[in-house]
Amino acid sequence: MDFSAHISTPKNTTVAAPKITSLHLTKGRLTGGFLFFPPGPAGTLHFFARIGIHQIVPFTPGEDYHLDDCVIPFSLGIDLLEQPFIIDLITWNDSITWPHLLNICFFVLPSKDKRFSLKKIVNAFAATNGYQKS
Amino acid sequence: MDTRIATILAPEDLGAAGTKIIDINLQDVVSRISIAFKTTNVSEDMTEHPAANISKIELIDGSDVLFALSGLQCQALNFYDRKNKPYSYIDDIAGHAETAVFGLDFGRFLYDPLMAFDPKKFVNPQLRISFDEDVCEVDTTVNECIVRAHIFDDKAVSPTGFLSSKEIFSYLVQTSGYKYIDLPTDYILRQLYVKCRYADTSFFGLLAAARLSEDNTRKIPFDLTMTELIHDAVEAYGYCFEHAYLNGITTSTVFYGMPCDLEYAVYSPYGAADAGAVWATGGGKYRKLGVSASYNLKVILMGAMPHGVMPLMPKPSDNLADWYKVPDLGSLVLRLKDTASVADVATAEVITTQYRPY
């Protein structure tokens, strides 16, 4: 499943007060995706993505993508197991003249398993992962 | 001895800003990881609480997030989780040092044998500390970070799991309306918090009410105003206290403290009698007015809502069977009612503490 967003960030959007776009996904495994910077921003448009407070793209904390006229493929392996299944897409635009656009897409392999098995719910505190030792 | 304090990171200046990544190579079971971040003041211009120098503390194992909170959130949870109040001391005198201490608490109490972090159960646990040394006091150029682990040494323990605290959702508070947040239901929920802190603004001027509903309002555990919630929180957890040592300059200047509501500030001059003043303006922001720069102020702050964090559920007991068994539910939704006077300036952050079994 592909989840995408087309984000236009106004000029003079600062890193202190960035634009935050929330992408609502589903339970499953975030396997990859891509980020497209159209020609034009010349490094003034910045992007990173996070789940809650945890930054996932790029995974290096404190880093962001700020490129021009290129597609960046993502290599991810992040399990989305718990609600809320929301990724926050953070953008800011250093340009004082133009708004800038980017396209982001995430690939999600949906989970077919609903949740824990009954054994695990019944025995949530056991150190034996839901089954009794003989 | 049954326990030991191991140094994970010896005192080190981390630089101006960035992220320090530390591989957790311990083999012993860890009850708590303590982080102390000390900065040396250059100016006497305080722009935030010392805990704000740490923007994020994370414990991860590959892509699995085991703990993720900001410095302010972490200190607030340390207040709520511990039987004794955590260390907190503010000093804005030029040349003096301020130390903010943070604890990643993996158990119900220090050296809890039932709940603790066992590094052997994970592949490559890493501690990541994101920092900026001059958030609290501008012009700061020197810092010192120490990371220690409180571990079980001679005492053999077999924890069944650990407590995992994370910020799961944040949004910009509006002037009216509701925000619905889907809460995680895979692990047992010990406590649920919301943080909303904005200078010169009371928490109650930002968020008005909270409601928790199971399975699309089939059952509503609580639907209360924030004022009603704070009554229970203060009775259960008590007030938070903080000491401060501040310069006594004769113009009104700002400092920041942990209590963000129901604040009381009292002071005594250090060195001579004077008639200065200390008062709260809301949202963790305070002002002071001295009589002479030669006489500093010793201040005690007392209040509720450490760093603007409100617990939403009743105070949990140490009895595991009493915690909220959310895996039995189909869905769990938190609804927050916004009431900010200005939209899109304050951020509300939802924090969970879950029990994660091994």
Is residue B234 predicted with pLDDT exceeding 90? Answer: yes
Listed in sequence order, the residues at least 6 apart from A128 whose beta carbon sits closer than 8 Å to its beta carbon are none
Is residue B105 predicted with pLDDT exceeding 60? Answer: yes
pLDDT level of residue A81 (50, 70, 90 thresholds): confident
Question: Mean pLDDT over residues B115-134, rounded?
Answer: 96
- pLDDT, tens digit, 9 for 90 and up, residues B24-81: 999 999 999 999 999 999 988 899 999 999 999 999 999 999 999 999 999 999 999 9
Asked if A52 reaches chain B (Cβ–Cβ under 8 Å), the answer is yes
| Segment among A12-16, A81-85, A103-107 with least mean pLDDT | A81-85
Question: Mean pLDDT over residues B222-229, rounded?
Answer: 96
Sort out which chain A residues have CB atoms less than 8 A from B158's CB and list them.
127
Sort out which chain B residues have CB atoms less than 8 A from A60's CB and list them.
19
pLDDT level of residue A119 (50, 70, 90 thresholds): very low
The torsion region of residue B77 among left (phi > 0), alpha (psi -120 to 50) and beta comes to: alpha
Asked if A118 reaches chain B (Cβ–Cβ under 8 Å), the answer is no
Sort out which chain A residues have CB atoms less than 8 A from B212's CB and list them.
none
Q: Which is more confident, B57 or B290?
A: B57
pLDDT of residue A122: 53
Is residue B268 predicted with pLDDT exceeding 90? Answer: no
Question: With contact defined as beta carbons under 8 Å apart, do A37 and A68 qualify?
Answer: yes
Mean pLDDT of chain A: 88
Q: Could you give the percent of chain B with pLDDT greater than 90?
A: 85
pLDDT level of residue B294 (50, 70, 90 thresholds): confident
pLDDT of residue A123: 54
In this structure, what DSSP letter does residue B126 have? Answer: E
Sort out which chain A residues have CB atoms less than 8 A from B56's CB and list them.
53, 61
pLDDT level of residue B173 (50, 70, 90 thresholds): very high
pLDDT of residue A20: 96
Contact yes or no for B56 and A53 at CB 8 A = yes
CA distances A19 to A22, A33, A45, Å, are 10, 21, 11
pLDDT of residue B193: 98
Q: A53-89 as b/e, with b when 16 or more CB fall inside 10 Å? A: bbbbbbbebbebbbbeeeebebebebebbbbbbbbbb
Is residue A124 predicted with pLDDT exceeding 70? Answer: no
The structure's pTM equals 0.91
User: Distance, in angstroms, between B82 CA and closest chain A CA?
Assistant: 22
Is residue A31 predicted with pLDDT exceeding 90? Answer: yes
Nearest residue to A57 (alpha-carbon basis) of A95, A92, A90, A100: A90
Two structure tokens written together for B222: 């609580």
Is residue B7 predicted with pLDDT exceeding 50? Answer: yes
Contact yes or no for A124 and B68 at CB 8 A = no
Grouping H, G, I as helix, E, B as strand and the rest as coil, residue B226 is helix
Question: Mean pLDDT over residues B237-263, rounded?
Answer: 92
